[in-house]
Amino acid sequence: MPLGTLDRTPPPFFRQGPSALSKLVVFSAVSVFLMVADLRLGLTPPLRAAIATALYPVQWTVMRPIQAAGNVGNYFTSLHRAQQTEAEALRRLAAQADRHLQLEQLEQENRQLRELLLMRDRISSPAMGAQVLYDTADPFSRRIVIDRGQTHGIEAGSPVVDESGVLGQVTRVYPLVSEVTLLIDRDQAIPVLNVRTGVRSVAFGQPSAAGDGLELRHTLASADIEEGDLLTTSGIDGVYPPGLPVARVSRIERRAESSFTRVQCEPLARVQGALHVLVLQPVGAQLPPPPEPEQATGRQRRDRPVPGSPINRSAP
């Protein structure tokens, strides 16, 4: 069969309708018409609203997993941030509490130092400031250690006071530190004077589990003493200057079967928790030395008659 007799048209199954150029012209014209109509008549907004309303359930359903994943991520992120913020707030609170505690300690120490300076102005004896280092480890004694010793001029027997009154007495002196026995120690005693009555007595240390204090021993039942009486140093021992506050009478026990009264006193000094103290010079060290006895010459001793011996009356 010759080639010219073949049918070159596509079969009906493969026919594509209008040409591409025709489609382009038609759709371009429709697009221009729709744009002009939308601009002039506003046809597309209702159509868009209808389409958006119809598609909203589909959009909501599709966005649920994405929003859920985002909410979970935000939750863990917020939780981590909140934990970090809480840890930072706790750290700042601890630092502020530490600073507040230090401030309170400094204020208390400053107040004690000012009161100690006022006490120093009231005392005529030479005084030296000292800081309490620690309490001794002996559970049967009441002693503290201060940061002044022989190199600072501390002497054994020197009185020790704080801003409220007499605290104790230096009993041991080392090159750099000294040991102070408190008034409440069982081996410590101090002469006192009742300011109200002017009666002198001796206060002894009385440590106990209920509370450490002082006791006026050998006090007669007829003695004029009342609770609240102020006891000061009498100054007759040559150690403590007179007039220093020592204790206040806290309890009086009068017994019918005994001629003596048990008098308990509460020390005025800070026997527990003292930070700074004053070490005074003993009163005996401030007194002038006693005059030396006159030394008789050898000739006077030879000429002095011996009692009971006859007088030698030799003729000239």
Considering the domain architecture, whether residues 206 and 152 belong to the same structural domain is answered as yes
CATH for 161: 2.40.10.340
CA distance 165 to 124: 14
Q: How confident is the prediction along the chain (316 residues), in pLDDT tens digits per residue?
A: 455 555 566 555 555 667 788 888 888 988 888 788 777 777 777 777 888 888 888 888 888 888 888 888 888 888 888 888 888 888 888 888 888 777 777 777 777 777 777 676 677 778 888 889 988 888 788 899 999 999 988 988 899 998 888 999 999 999 999 999 999 998 889 999 999 998 899 999 988 766 788 999 888 888 888 899 999 998 888 888 888 899 999 988 887 777 888 899 999 988 888 888 889 888 766 555 656 666 544 445 455 554 444 444 434 3
Token pair for 175: 């090159």
Domain assignment of residue 84, given as a range? 45-122
CA distances from residue 195 to 60, 109, 224, 235, 239 in whole angstroms, order as listed: 94, 30, 12, 13, 19
* 285: number of Cβ within 10 Å: 14
Give the DSSP letter string of 187-205.
T-EEEEEETTT--EEEEEE
Token pair for 83: 């934990």
- Neighbour-count burial for 196-213, b at 16+ CB within 10 Å, e otherwise: eeebebbbbbbbeeeebb
Considering the domain architecture, whether residues 218 and 143 belong to the same structural domain is answered as yes
Whether 300 maps to a domain, the answer reads: no
HSE-CB for 103 with a 13 A CA cutoff: 6
Give the count of domains, the chain.
2
Token pair for 171: 């009993």
Whether 302 maps to a domain, the answer reads: no
Give the DSSP letter string of 148-212.
--GGGT--TT-EEE-SSSEEEEEEEE-SS-EEEEETTSTT-EEEEEETTT--EEEEEEE--SS--
CA distances from residue 137 to 22, 194, 257 in whole angstroms, order as listed: 114, 34, 40
Whether 88 maps to a domain, the answer reads: yes
Residue with tokens 């001793």: 301
Q: Which amino acid belongs to residue 73? A: G
Q: What's the distance, CA 196 to chain centroid? A: 38
Does the pTM exceed 0.85?
A: no
Considering the domain architecture, whether residues 280 and 133 belong to the same structural domain is answered as yes
Q: In the listed set 83, 98, 122, which residue is the last one of a domain according to the structure?
A: 122
Element (H or E) spanning 127, and its range? strand 127-135
Whether 246 maps to a domain, the answer reads: yes
Considering the domain architecture, whether residues 172 and 267 belong to the same structural domain is answered as yes
Whether 293 maps to a domain, the answer reads: no
